Structure 1
Amino acid sequence: MMQFSRRAGGFAGRALREATVASMVLISSTAAFAQSDSPVGTWQTIDDHTHQPKALVQITQDENGVLSGKVIKSLNPNEPPGRRCTECTDARKDQLILGMTIIDDMKKDGDVWDGGQILDPENGKLYKCKMHTEDGGQKLVVRGYIGVSLLGRSQTWIRQN
């Protein structure tokens, strides 16, 4: 009888451990899903003209929930290293594009992030910016515009893991 109890206890213990692991996986998956709707993370941008991967942009969130994004890697093999924003007209004039903050002051407004701006290092222009995630957080639609969002263009960035 004692041996049966140990076996039952062993089986119950194993079942409890498996249930605990399953619960942890479920909680982890739920947390990952909840965060997948956030733009926080690393995104692959696509060149508007060539439709090829262009750069990696890392979006971070500060303690107030405000998002910013900086270029962390060029994916264009033809781009010379040490490329600078020669067209920029603000404090970023002639600064290295690699490491440059190109998105700032984005705040959550319902299902979108809005109120900030985005810099296009190609032409040095600043645009108002609005963004939202799609496909379970795997795509980020980034819209740069002047005045109202109808007057602008959108890019779809791909989340990198």
Structure 2
Amino acid sequence: MTAMKKTTLIASLSLAAVSAFAQTTPVGLWKTIDDDTKKEKSLVRITDNNGVFSGHIEKLLDPDTKPDAVCEDCTDERKGKPVLGMTILRNLKQNADDKAIYDGGDIVDPNNGKVYRTRLKPVDGGKRLEMRGYIGPFYRTQVWLRVE
């Protein structure tokens, strides 16, 4: 094998490994699905800022949601702010014991203003994201779908 072919092969394998790793993190664009109605609700972009993950609503998909909707029921700094562009996920970090889980942060439901402790877990090779919200010992899980 020539040196050029070896270099190309190594570069290709390295790129594939980086792509596979990127898909197993929650970073990216996700389509949220309402677990009751099964309707597409929004697109949420999750970003990583030095190991702290957050997510904001990039696009509203539900035709029943007004484009200029605001979070009337929020009780923090998001009260009265537009839902479109709102940071709904914040302060998540990769779990030290289980690297497949991202937790320690919270999520707000702009429909009712409630804030839940949350946990994210990419599944199916990063094609789906289990988003779990907690109140006390009780929880509810939604499955979000990767768009990118």
- Common topology (TM > 0.5): yes
Q: Distance in 2 between matches of 1:72 and 1:61?
A: 16
Aligned to 2:62: 76
Matches within 5 A, 1:128-143: 128-143=117-132
| Displacement of 1:84 | 0.7
Aligned to 2:93: 107
Pair 1:44-2:31 in alignment: yes
What SS is found at the alignment partner of 2:65? coil
- One-letter code aligned to 2:73: E
| Displacement of 1:19 | 4.0
Q: How many pairs are equivalent?
A: 145
| Displacement of 1:20 | 3.0
Larger Rg: 1
Aligned to 2:81: 95
- One-letter code aligned to 1:118: I
| Displacement of 1:160 | 1.1
What SS is found at the alignment partner of 1:121? coil
| Displacement of 1:77 | 2.5
TM-score, normalised to structure 1, is 0.84
- One-letter code aligned to 2:81: Q
Which structure has the highest helix share of the two? 1
Q: Highest relative contact order (Cα 8 Å, sep 6+), 1 or 2?
A: 2
- One-letter code aligned to 2:117: K
Aligned to 1:55: 42
| Displacement of 1:16 | 4.3
2:142 is matched with which residue: 155, 158, 161?
A: 155
Aligned to 1:28: 15
**Percent of aligned pairs with the same amino acid:** 41
TM-score, normalised to structure 2, is 0.91
What SS is found at the alignment partner of 2:19? helix
| Displacement of 1:125 | 0.2
- For structure 1, list consecutive stretches of 5 or more residues without a partner in the other structure: 1-11
- One-letter code aligned to 2:34: D
What SS is found at the alignment partner of 1:73? strand
- For structure 2, list consecutive stretches of 5 or more residues without a partner in the other structure: none
Aligned to 1:8: none
